[in-house]
């Protein structure tokens, strides 16, 4: 099982520039994209604000990474129409895999959140994995 934590990059700027209705539209677009990419056995939820989580059951870290990258790229290509404005967004994603050393779901969430902060710290619009050799995951920015 893997947990993906996602955060829309610079979401406050969208609300400040276009208003909260535009922000709501962006959140709806993100939810729709999540539903299309993670449609099989995954559990999708909004954690709060502009943060979402996906639980991928029966997936290893490589499968989770590949799916996260598909989602990140698809969302980044969307052009969200709000009135006469076209809004493009990016997302940062952190992934943690459940293993025998993890004692609770809260710990798994903390690890995925740490990876999310790594993705943001490395410049946003990327996927980061907690405690995995980066050579295993080809194509990460």
Helix (H/G/I), strand (E/B), else coil: 91: strand
Is 50 designated active site? yes
Q: Mean of the pLDDT values across residues 39-49?
A: 85
Q: Mean of the pLDDT values across residues 25-34?
A: 94
Q: Mean of the pLDDT values across residues 15-42?
A: 91
Identify the CATH number of the domain in which residue 44 sits: 3.30.70.270
Q: pLDDT for 57-73, tens place per residue?
A: 889 999 999 999 999 99
134 pLDDT more than 70: no
35, part of any domain:
yes
14, part of any domain:
yes
Structural domains of the chain, count: 1
26, part of any domain:
yes
Edge to edge, the sheet with strand 2-8 lists: 43-48, 51-56, 2-8, 91-97, 127-129
pLDDT attached to residue 140 = 45
29, 42, 50, 130: the catalytic one is 50
137, part of any domain:
no
Is the pTM for the entire model greater than 0.85? yes
Q: Mean of the pLDDT values across residues 16-28?
A: 95
Domain that holds residue 51: 2-132
pLDDT attached to residue 141 = 43
């Amino acid at each position: 099982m893997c947990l993906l934590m996602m955060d829309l990059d610079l979401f406050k700027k969208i609300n400040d520039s276009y208003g909260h209705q535009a922000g709501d539209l962006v959140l709806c677009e993100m939810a729709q994209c999540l539903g299309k990419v993670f449609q099989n056995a995954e559990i999708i939820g909004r954690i709060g604000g502009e943060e979402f989580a996906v639980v991928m059951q029966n997936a290893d870290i490589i499968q989770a990474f590949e799916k996260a990258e598909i989602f990140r790229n698809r969302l980044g290509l969307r052009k969200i129409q709000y009135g006469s404005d076209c809004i493009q967004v990016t997302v940062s994603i952190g992934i943690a895999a459940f293993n025998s050393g993890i004692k609770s779901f809260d710990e798994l969430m903390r690890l995925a959140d740490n990876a999310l902060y790594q993705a943001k710290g490395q410049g946003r619009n990327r996927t980061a994995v907690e405690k995995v050799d980066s050579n295993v995951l080809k194509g990460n920015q």
